[in-house]
Amino acid sequence: MATLINRSRYTVTVRRHPNLTRTFSHEDRNGVRQYVKALRTDGHSPKVEQGDDHWYVRIRQKGHKALNFDGGSLADAEAAAARIEAERKSGLFINYTSGHRITYAELIERYANEVCPKHKGCEVERTILESFLTDLGGEYAERALALKRERAKARVAGTKKKPRILPPRHTPRPKDSIVWLLRPLAQV
């Protein structure tokens, strides 16, 4: 069953006195009461309204994980809750929450470090994946370069050879063509 909670701001208005209009957080009911009381003692008749622009939806169903999310309006929140409940009833619901918490670049990095070493052509895969990360620049490029250095040192450990770090053999891509790597996975 879905629970809808209005988390929109409260607005206190006084007719013909726009300078007395104030907004309050949805949690600050005491502040609203005190302001209304102060306005009434001054002889005004205030009007309190709560907006319709922020709704919190909580869905709890037996046999499913609890799901909490925000909706823009009451109609949006009700529609989303009804859709999720119907999909859960028919067994089609897919929760994309974890996909919104990790970027595609972070997944590439994890794949190159955890899964790739188990494959036969790991060095080729890593070279391709790390070229994406170095083209992104910033912290991803620094970590990719540090990993290359560590692998080069490990490769020549026990020999008298000096570790070689070759420059990238690819033409760097324009940053705007790979900016999708920084998006959350659920948006790609």
pLDDT band at 40 (very low <50, low <70, confident <90, very high): very high
More confident residue, 81 or 159: 81
- Nearest Cα to 153, choosing from 167, 137, 165? 165
Which residue do the tokens 């999720």 mark?
Answer: 84
Q: What is the pTM of this model?
A: 0.52
- Nearest Cα to 147, choosing from 165, 171, 159, 160? 165
Which residue do the tokens 């990360």 mark?
Answer: 133
- The arithmetic mean of pLDDT across residues 14-32, rounded, is 94
Q: What is the pLDDT of residues 156-183, one digit of tens each?
A: 776 666 656 666 566 777 767 777 888 8
Question: Please, how many CA atoms are within 13 Å of residue 98, restricted to the half-sphere of its CB?
Answer: 3
- The arithmetic mean of pLDDT across residues 56-61, rounded, is 92
- Nearest Cα to 68, choosing from 80, 84, 50, 56? 56
- The arithmetic mean of pLDDT across residues 28-37, rounded, is 96
| Cα 30 from Cα 22, distance rounded (Å) | 14
Q: How high is the pLDDT of residue 138?
A: 76
Q: What is the pLDDT of residues 88-142, one digit of tens each?
A: 888 777 777 777 888 888 888 888 888 888 888 888 888 888 888 888 877 777 8
For residue 165, CA distances in Å to 58, 131, 134, 146 come to 52, 14, 14, 11
| Cα 49 from Cα 22, distance rounded (Å) | 11
3-state secondary structure of 62: coil
| Cα 8 from Cα 51, distance rounded (Å) | 5
